Chain A
Amino acid sequence: MKHELGMSLAALAVGLMTSVMPAKADFWSDAGAKYKGVTLHGVTESTPPSNYIKDVLAPAFEKATGIKVEIETTSWDQMYDKAIKDMEAKTGIYDMVYIEQDIIYAYLARDFLVDITKSLKDDPSLKAPDYDETRFTTFANYFKNADGDLFGIPMEAFIKVYLYRTDLFNDPAIKEAFKKETGKDLAPAKTHEEYTQIAEFFTKWGKDHNLELWGTTAQAHTGHPASWYEFFESIAPTFGVYNWGIDASKNYSASVANGGTMNSDKAKAALKYWLHLRDIAPPESPASTWTEVGTTFAAGRAAQGLVYGENAAWIAADAEKSKVVGNVGVALPPLEPGVMEDTEAGKGYIGYYDGGAFGLPVTSKNKEASLLFLQYIGQDSVQGDWAVAAPRITNTATYDDPKVIEMDKKLNGYYTMLKNDGKLFAGAPPYPFHAQVREATAPIFYKILLGEVSPDDGLDQMAAAAEAELTNLGYRK
């Protein structure tokens, strides 16, 4: 009797599953039927997460819905050029654009993007059963307006972490030499002083042992904004200079005289610290952007460095591209006293939370079909493989995916750090004038890097240039 009852229940369960599953799976083909023959065009930066969309998610979506998706992956500069020109001129070429976290404020200020939350509420027939905004990590908050409506589906999120070489840090001979020279145990640095000491030690070690090894990386290109970003988004905050030293509440002031911190003593100390590191970094550093910093570390040329999380996975796990596989440790960036307290009190942050989302321009000619695609890439079910292919996590459930847990071990706890300590990092400040202020001040910054202007004078000039630009743009009254 019991056996018969069990069989009946099992049959009922199978029957229910088979009747429910096709209905769920059919959502995409049903919803897509109306847009069959439509081709969606997207533009994004050529990065591993974007390439995954292009190579895996777009074909899968086409198979499920019949809607073709063409994703154009290009350079960071070109991506912005194309997207902004298209939205500005209202040509409607692109149905999806990559929105880096730091430009969302400018796009929102210009009403470039469709309110995804509202659009799905207005037309529930477009809402996919597996898509739910609440499943995103808090990084999604960067892409929301004041009402909490979402304007971009998060597609990548990383923190800029402190990577160090575990093989070098655990080498008994090196440990002994370090102890002998500094009187300290060799361990990942917690303060700037410790970081400098370790960097100086390894640069000397490399020289003494005729090795192609230096103590630190430095993203210090003398003609590319990467250096500007490294300073203002990764170094200055660890000295207590937040939001690029510009205070929006004080009439967008940058200079100390007007209430800003761009040329504060802390900023000047931070710049001198970083310039010293640049001087003991590998010789390619003055020509290094974020990409070259990753390759420098992967080539085994630096003992430690601040590296964008998007590069951390391949550096730690891809033996075809990296010489340091299995030898990469992850830690939080070194800090000045008081910065962690600021961060915990919600007044500061310890480093850069980088990432981006896919948004739908209001000029798109295929909004409904694009909304389907955006939901498709936002589902929990596609996240696991995506996170393994490219080290990005945008949905909370992805942390518990077995594949991701396995990958986390290879990355020495990078995902765990992202989950537990991600809150200590912050994206770019909510200003709609990022590129404008950066371009107004970068030429002076490059002069500092070249030694044509002293760090102190240079930061004074940069603060003045930032305020002049903000006045010119009409933000500063």
Chain B
Amino acid sequence: MRSNRVGWLLLAPTIAILGIFGIVPFLYVLYVAFHQWNPFGANPYMIYNGANNFRRLVFDNEFLTSIAFTLKFAFFAVLSEVVLGYFLAQLFMKEFPGRGLFRTIHTLPLIVAPIVVGSVWRLMTTPSIGIIPYLLKSWFGYDLNIGRDATMAFALTVIMDIWHWTPLVTLTLLAALVSLPKEPFEQAQIDGANRWQIFWHVTLPMIRPAILATVFIRLMDALRTVDEVWMLTGGGPGAATRYLGLHIWKIVFPKTDYGYGSATSVIVLYLTLVMCWLLYVALVARRGQKRAS
């Protein structure tokens, strides 16, 4: 009984912080989502409107387009980061001259604020000024204009995200690889397994929890990305890079449609949870069931 009380006492600050900064704001967003509330409307006060905001979302083309673009962005960015991150982690497992320096340089993007990343990439990609359009034009005769080319603008947001966040994946997977015991690998080599078989049957299953955690973190980040993309493209051209985070930002801040913005946020949170759950079922739960049977 006493130890229980001490436990709760120790947990209290965390619970209080979580409640104040997590649960209460979430409940408030949920409450606002069921209201029509635009402080610059003819009636600037909250008016209860039931599930109307959610009903509006279903028919909102901009929202649906934004979901599609965001999922595409998250898929390409996270997949590339995990694959690239794994290869870089494997590279850092090996000894080579300048490894420490390379690892430090490789980690530097992580300490740059997203808004700065967006600004730098914007400078690098602005037609006539940026180094990237200049080089592409000089070497390949290709005119890069992210103000007009939706596909290139999308691709650049993915590349920028990969540049910024791959180091995080590398570090996480490197930590996982370093902590792996040597015996299973030695055993597999003795049994005559080739490199692919070792990767598929030994390494991958053993670092699966680390991969899963990394994918969850990166997926959630990718689904709510705002600052970098806002700086690089402003969500354009058109709506080509108006990802969900930016879409919500535009509804809530410039448009001050707090009720609809809150409803959109709630739905996006729900979608994120569903996606993470599906991913969990696909990668962990089903495998666990197979093993049990």
- A residues with a Cβ closer than 8 A to B are 77, 80-81, 84, 88, 106, 109-110, 212, 220-225, 282-288, 292, 301, 432-433, 435-436, 438-440, 443, 446-447, 449-450, 452, 472-475
Contact = CB atoms under 8 A, between A and B. Distances in A.
Given A221-B234, A223-B241, A286 B148 contact: yes
B63 to A, nearest CB: 11
B40 A436 contact: yes
B68 to A, nearest CB: 15
B39 interface: yes
B38 interface: yes
Given A284-B129, A287-B146, A473-B38, A221 B254 contact: no
B262 interface: no
Nearest to A111: B44
A284 B128 contact: yes
B237 A450 contact: yes
Interface in B234-291: 234-239, 241-242, 250-251, 253-257
Given A285-B147, A446-B238, 6 more contacts: A283-B128, A284-B127, A435-B40, A449-B238, A452-B238, A472-B38
Interface string B176-202: 000000000000000000000000000
A106 to B, nearest CB: 5
Nearest to A285: B147
B40 A287 contact: no
B238 A450 contact: yes
B38 A436 contact: yes
A18 to B, nearest CB: 54
Given A284-B127, A438-B254, A439-B250, A446 B143 contact: no
Interface of B: 38-44, 62, 126-129, 143, 145-148, 150, 233-239, 241-242, 250-251, 253-257
A449 B40 contact: no
A41 B67 CA distance: 39
A283 B145 contact: yes
Contacts of A449: 237-238
A84 B256 contact: yes
Contact of A223 (B129, B236, B253, B257): B236
Nearest to A295: B129
B148 A222 contact: yes
B40 A222 contact: no
B53 to A, nearest CB: 11
Given A223-B242, A475-B42, A446 B253 contact: no
Contacts of B257: 436
Contacts of A450: 148, 150, 237-238
Q: List the 10 shortest-distance A-B pairs measured between CB atoms, nearest first.
A: A223-B236, A286-B147, A474-B42, A287-B147, A222-B237, A223-B234, A222-B236, A439-B255, A473-B41, A283-B127
A472 B40 CA distance: 11
A432 B40 contact: yes
A288 B147 CA distance: 8
A93 B128 CA distance: 42
Contacts of B145: 283, 286-287
Nearest to B234: A223
Nearest to A288: B147
A443 B237 CA distance: 10
B134 to A, nearest CB: 12
Nearest to A447: B238
A475 B40 CA distance: 10
Nearest to A452: B238
A475 B41 CA distance: 7
Nearest to A112: B39
B152 to A, nearest CB: 12
A81 B255 CA distance: 11
Contact of B253 (A81, A288, A301, A475): A81
A269 to B, nearest CB: 23
B41, B242, B251: residue with the most chain A Cβ atoms closer than 10 Å: B41
Contacts of A220: 147
A440 B236 contact: no
Contacts of B128: 212, 282-284, 301
B41 A440 contact: no
A222 B255 CA distance: 18
Contacts of B238: 222-223, 443, 446-447, 449-450, 452
A116 to B, nearest CB: 22
B147 A284 contact: yes
A222 B38 CA distance: 26
A284 B235 CA distance: 17
Contacts of B254: 77, 80, 225, 435, 438-439
A222 B232 CA distance: 12
Contacts of A446: 236-239
22 contacts: A77-B253, A80-B253, A88-B39, A109-B40, A110-B44, A222-B148, A223-B238, A223-B242, A282-B127, A284-B126, A285-B147, A287-B147, A433-B41, A435-B254, A436-B257, A443-B242, A446-B238, A449-B237, A473-B40, A473-B41, A474-B41, A475-B42
B135 to A, nearest CB: 15
Contacts of B237: 222-223, 286, 446, 449-450
Nearest to A475: B42
A97 to B, nearest CB: 15
A452 B61 CA distance: 15
A164 B30 CA distance: 54
Nearest to B133: A283
A110 B38 CA distance: 11
Contacts of B42: 473-475
A212 B238 CA distance: 27
A430 B13 CA distance: 50
Nearest to A289: B234
A286 B152 CA distance: 14
Nearest to B137: A283
A225 B238 CA distance: 11
Contacts of A221: 147, 234, 236
Contacts of A223: 233-238, 241-242
A24 to B, nearest CB: 43
B127 A106 contact: no
Nearest to B42: A474
Nearest to B65: A443
A221 B150 CA distance: 13
Nearest to B231: A75
A474 B241 CA distance: 31
A59 B128 CA distance: 40
A120 to B, nearest CB: 28
A333 B216 CA distance: 55
B239 A443 contact: yes
Contacts of B143: 283
Nearest to A476: B42
Nearest to A440: B255
B64 to A, nearest CB: 13
